[in-house]
A = this chain, B = another copy of it.
């Protein structure tokens, strides 16, 4: 099937949203934990978290301005901190439910059965059920003028990960902790390792 600029622009809105959301390939599934200055917590599933650099350890994500995670963005700007919690096979349904349009003072923790956890003195809640999670300090928040989405860049300040998941060389076995991958807007997948490949040489 072939689509061009004209046929893409004529697609029915939901069809186009599903199609375009599938093009980048498999996405990460992460829960972003935040709170406001009064301790009201928020939890939002985000599929756009991406690696930005290892030294310093930086992570990026895209947040749409009028989407469910907008309260998350307000909290991040207010406190300067957030947690990123990988979604695993035991909690993907609860994680997906955080995308419902709860009001700002309805915590997604209370409404989904996911459990708040405070670690390392960070003023943002972790998800207890997540097996790989880390605390992040806001470094930069910029509006991408091309479509008014927000690019949020953070510095990783602490990492909590199940011992069994880390190999001797620092590689984390995401399959061992049952981290899920996302496709499109709403499809969750477990994974099966094909191979780790050696550093490529000419």
Q: Which residues of A contact B (CB under 8 A)?
A: 1-5, 8, 11-30, 47-60, 62, 64, 84, 86-87, 89, 92-93, 96-102, 111, 120, 132, 134, 139-140, 144, 146-147, 149, 151, 153, 156-163, 166-167, 169-172, 174-175, 179-181, 183-202
Q: How many copies does the complex hold?
A: 2
Q: Once the chains bind, are A202 and B100 in contact (CB under 8 Å)?
A: yes
Cα-based distance from A8 to B170 in the complex (angstroms) = 11
B184, A194: Cβ atoms under 8 Å? no
> Which among B17, B30, B87 is the interface contact of A54 at CB below 8 angstroms?
B17
In Å, the complex CA distance between A64 and B144 comes to: 19
9 new A-B contacts, CB < 8 A, other than A23-B84, A24-B49, are A19-B54, A19-B159, A20-B51, A24-B28, A24-B51, A25-B29, A52-B149, A188-B194, A191-B192
A15 touches B169 (CB 8 A): yes
Does B120 contact A172, Cβ atoms closer than 8 Å?
Answer: no
